[in-house]
Structure 1
Amino acid sequence: MAASPQRPPVAVLLLVLLSCLTGGLSIPDPRLREALIRLEDSMQAGGKMELTDAEKRLDALLLKMKQEETARADFPPAMHFFKARDLIRASPIFSVLQKMPKGGALHVHDLSMVDVEWVVKNVTYRPHCYMCFTDNRSIRFIFSSQWPKPRPGCSPWALLEALRAKTKNATDLDNSIMNNLTLFTDQDPEVVYPSQDVVWDRFEQTFQALWGLVTYTPVFRDYFYRGLGQFYTDNVMYLEVRSLLPELYELDGSTHDKTFTLKSYQDVTEQFTANYPDFFGVRFISTVHRGVNMSVMTEVVEEAMKLQKDFPHIMAGFDMVGREENGRPLWYFREALSLPQERGINLPFFFHAGETDLEGTDVDQNLLDALLFNTSRIGHGFALLRHPVAKDLSRKSKVAVEVCPVSNQVMKLVKDLRNHPAAVLMLENHPLVISSDDPAAFGAVGLSYDFYEAFVGFGGIKSHLGSLKQLAMNSIRYSSLSPQHQEKALALWNTKWNKFVSEIAR
């Protein structure tokens, strides 16, 4: 990245402006105005990026596309994603972003990587798959060589193969199953999900519905391979996946420990990279639900330290998942979270923090506490603008915010993505990366939808090709990869980027 020509410092320009104002000029010097505009433009993400001639041609093309997009009455970032998805798919900008090498996806959850249509068509049609209906109108699954034991709060198990044979229209049954595995709806999402409580409850139900399908060992391997394939097809070359590391089970009901799960992840990743050598790999962030008690948290931190020692190349660190407002704050677990440092063990943290619109609560302090515990990145950080100290610390410490636009909108933190707090962060070139959180739960796939919302929505007209380039490079620079591996990944990404630019610009 070449440096741009040296420009006057902010303080100098402000002094000049002040002298003009006190000098009683009726019209400010237009050269000063232009200098201030250039200065402000240079401060945004990618603002100091020196573009090649080919990049400038592509940038001009994107600007024209964006101007046409923002003039539309049905502007997608101002609409709920469920209503905007088809409009985004038809957008020429989205077509370019799909082809763009996006670097890494650093905030992705393992059980929501794969589109649910693939799950229904390729998983629920396997033999020995049973389904039951819960009292709260959800569904559960299990693979078993024998008729499963009754499950509390669930109807008697039904063998799906037999159920489909009795059903007049298997497509209706498949669609019903799909509706239980995703939040996406063709109805008005504001009516279906009138509050954060409703959407979070449904969100957690989708994971419980998926659990019995995806944790069956043969499915687990196929599911993860498919997930890598979908991100790779979307031109993502590296992932950092947050995983509860579930106990996988076999057809006879026997289960495996977390070491087996992590080893399975490793084996599938190696198989995928052998088939696609330009895919850079995957690292994993072990997680636990933030609703556990102190005793359980201590156990899982101990377990994470052991996994970090046994799998140093693929274990990136530790995090907590689940709704912040319903779980315990980070400070509650301070004794357990201090164990790695007390024992001289390097267990990096990647805490979800600030995924809330609450103010002045214990939950709202998670941002400061995450930084106190030396988090490597901040997951979501939606509340960061309300915490100037945390914002300043994260910038100075180069702790990137993992921004997930579609997720924040669907989970009802922001209605119009032009008003997303990351709009300010991008204008300030705050350390941040774009990711997709739980794409399958939102009816999305890969990373392109989130890049669209970032580039067109809170990026506004000002964001340009340099912004996209900066965000893609950030995803490698702020990854958990070692400095040596970051350089290798950047070199691979740069080759892909130059090819992309030359093809699209031409």
Structure 2
Amino acid sequence: MAVLLQRPLVAAAACLLLYHMAGVLAVPDPRQREALIQLEASMQTGGQVVLTDAEKGLDALLCKMKQQEMAKADFPPAMHFFKARDLIRTSPIFNLLQKMPKGGALHVHDLSMVDVEWLVKNVTYRPHCYMCFTDKQSIRFVFSSRWPKALPHCSPWTLLENLRAKMINTTDLDNSIMGNMTLFTDQDPEMVYPSQDVVWDKFEQAFLALWGLVTYAPVFRDYYYQGLSEFYVDNIMYLELRALLPEIYELDGSTHDTAWTLKTYREVTRQFTADHPDFFGARIIFTINRGVNASVMAGVVEEAMKLQRDFPDIMAGFDLVGREDKGRPLWYFREALSLPAERGVTLPFFFHAGETDLEGTDVDQNLLDALLFNTSRIGHGFALLRHPVAKDLSRKRGVALEVCPISNQVLKLVSDMRNHPAAALMSENHPLVISSDDPAMFGSSGLSYDFYEAFVGFGGMRSDLGSLKELATNSIRYSSLTSEQKEKALVFWQRRWDKYVSENAF
């Protein structure tokens, strides 16, 4: 008990000293200074975590590594991720973070969870795969048993197996296809993407390029299983996937409805957990693009309520996706979003909100509106520091932010990770989790890269193993799992954590 009370007692002592300091001008007392330092340390994410002796050993190792990392001339969190990625890969801290059991990934999108190289090398080499070139310098795909119908604003279709058969070396073609499916570039990213409009346009075109590949029924199953595999390899035990639940098609052109798509997610999840007993599972957050009108949104919310009723084990809730600055604000959809409450139906919301730097606009009010609609979590919440009322409400209600560091940087909300708003939020232990948003689009994978940016960039020398431990357990505490499932998952995670610490502490 004495060990557990140690940090709270330090904080209490610091508060007492602060009380005596109030209004007094005097020579600074070293004890007061130390008390202030301890008080601030106790307030940060992980500040109340009491480490075991083994954990202290690993913490000391991480601290030494971080000191060396921060002394380097090329400090990865101060650089664009595209330039920093290779440096991060050689970091001993990153190596430890890859091995670390990170809990759950709670903010990941369906069409950007799998390495694009897998899509090109595996999927585009399958029979009956056609490709065309758009007038926006992008590409489209479709699988078909016969010659597909022409698409508007696209060149005539080309059967890829015929095209490759004419080539001596297909590497350049494969690399070109990959380049259309990701934002990652070896060139200067600031030159390639000079503005948010430019990078978002490429972002949206990349999703459209992926669409015809991933929504083909045989690929859809394999793609999702591969996505789970990539997260599993990165020591993630649970996933909440934001999914559009698109219409999935067969080779003959026939299609499946939304319920079929959700059932397929459930079947593949069950298969993956059967194949990997130390994976806890996955759930789906049904999404719709925020560019639709109010009437369409009302119909989608109706569908979401039905899916929530019919598939409570796999369906976690509902969200709006797409570029917040260009889409309609939450308040525009207030009638549709009020339907579940009016009918007494449970439909948890997980709204994207605050993924913007446009202060004072209608879009900038999404944070407050998300809380008005009782969102379970906030996707991104980059603008939260500019909204003291929303910040206070989210803390009091335990509404965690899903912070996606690399996404925020690549999409040009922040350039230096040390200046990310989450650095301030971590200093006061605001409810948050770390996630990766669209890792395949950014040349990333799993969660380790984003954990690196948070641990080294947001936290600086102050964040420690306790910070990492709390961030990992937050991903379970703030998940959509039931209380009983959370308890089971935390026990599950703790076993893996103890093994990780014992293998890496000394």
TM-score normalised by L of structure 2: 0.98
Aligned to 1:422: 422
Paired residue total: 502
Aligned to 2:20: 16
Matched ranges for 1:381-392 at <5 A: 381-392=381-392
Q: Secondary structure at the match of 2:375?
A: coil
**In 2, distance between residues paired with 1:109 and 1:57?**
37
Question: Contact (CA 8 Å) 1:318, 1:347: kept in 2 or not?
Answer: yes
CA shift for structure 1 position 166: 1.6
CA shift for structure 1 position 12: 3.0
1:117-152 Cα distance to aligned partner (Å, 9 max, x none): 010000000000000000111000000000001111
Matched ranges for 1:141-220 at <5 A: 141-220=141-220
Question: Contact (CA 8 Å) 1:104, 1:239: kept in 2 or not?
Answer: yes
Aligned to 2:235: 235
CA shift for structure 1 position 3: 4.5
Matched ranges for 1:375-414 at <5 A: 375-414=375-414
Question: Contact (CA 8 Å) 2:13, 2:35: kept in 1 or not?
Answer: no
1:65-96 Cα distance to aligned partner (Å, 9 max, x none): 00000001000000000000000000000000
**In 2, distance between residues paired with 1:434 and 1:360?**
26
Matched ranges for 1:27-176 at <5 A: 27-176=27-176
**In 1, distance between residues paired with 2:13 and 2:163?**
71
Question: Contact (CA 8 Å) 2:14, 2:32: kept in 1 or not?
Answer: no
**In 2, distance between residues paired with 1:253 and 1:110?**
22
**In 1, distance between residues paired with 2:304 and 2:76?**
41
**In 1, distance between residues paired with 2:270 and 2:480?**
18
Q: Is it true that 1:296 corresponds to 2:327 in the alignment?
A: no
Question: Contact (CA 8 Å) 1:3, 1:48: kept in 2 or not?
Answer: no
Question: Contact (CA 8 Å) 1:200, 1:411: kept in 2 or not?
Answer: yes
One-letter code of the match for 1:102? Answer: K
Q: Secondary structure at the match of 2:240?
A: strand
CA shift for structure 1 position 168: 3.4
**In 2, distance between residues paired with 1:13 and 1:472?**
33
Q: Secondary structure at the match of 2:249?
A: coil
Unaligned runs of 5+ in 1: none
Q: Secondary structure at the match of 2:22?
A: helix
1:283-322 Cα distance to aligned partner (Å, 9 max, x none): 1100000000001000100000000000001110000000
CA shift for structure 1 position 64: 0.4
One-letter code of the match for 1:480? Answer: S
Q: Secondary structure at the match of 1:496?
A: helix
**In 1, distance between residues paired with 2:480 and 2:403?**
17
One-letter code of the match for 1:485? Answer: Q
CA shift for structure 1 position 18: 2.1
Q: Is it true that 1:4 corresponds to 2:13 in the alignment?
A: no
Q: Is it true that 1:476 corresponds to 2:476 in the alignment?
A: yes
**In 2, distance between residues paired with 1:363 and 1:2?**
44
TM-score normalised by L of structure 1: 0.98
Q: Secondary structure at the match of 2:6?
A: coil
**In 2, distance between residues paired with 1:228 and 1:84?**
26
Question: Contact (CA 8 Å) 2:231, 2:446: kept in 1 or not?
Answer: yes
Q: Secondary structure at the match of 1:474?
A: helix
**In 2, distance between residues paired with 1:242 and 1:2?**
38
CA shift for structure 1 position 450: 0.2
**Are residues 415 and 339 of structure 1, via their aligned partners in 2, closer, same or farther at CA, if it must alter by over 3 Å?**
same
**In 2, distance between residues paired with 1:94 and 1:2?**
30
**In 2, distance between residues paired with 1:375 and 1:488?**
24
Matched ranges for 1:225-264 at <5 A: 225-264=225-264
CA shift for structure 1 position 15: 1.9
CA shift for structure 1 position 11: 4.9
Aligned to 2:314: 314
Q: Is it true that 1:504 corresponds to 2:504 in the alignment?
A: yes
Aligned to 1:340: 340
Unaligned runs of 5+ in 2: none
Q: Is it true that 1:486 corresponds to 2:493 in the alignment?
A: no
One-letter code of the match for 1:155? Answer: S
One-letter code of the match for 2:20? Answer: V
**In 1, distance between residues paired with 2:459 and 2:301?**
38
Question: Contact (CA 8 Å) 1:45, 1:429: kept in 2 or not?
Answer: yes
1:249-304 Cα distance to aligned partner (Å, 9 max, x none): 00000000000000010010000000101100001100000000001000100000
CA shift for structure 1 position 29: 1.3
Between the two proteins, what is the percent identity of the paired residues? Answer: 76
Q: Secondary structure at the match of 1:445?
A: coil
Aligned to 1:357: 357
**Are residues 119 and 94 of structure 1, via their aligned partners in 2, closer, same or farther at CA, if it must alter by over 3 Å?**
same
**In 2, distance between residues paired with 1:494 and 1:395?**
25
1:96-127 Cα distance to aligned partner (Å, 9 max, x none): 00000000000000110000001000000000
**In 2, distance between residues paired with 1:165 and 1:16?**
82
**In 2, distance between residues paired with 1:332 and 1:356?**
17
1:6-53 Cα distance to aligned partner (Å, 9 max, x none): 23266533221225x34xx3x211111111110110000000110000
**In 2, distance between residues paired with 1:10 and 1:58?**
28
One-letter code of the match for 1:165? Answer: A
Aligned to 1:437: 437
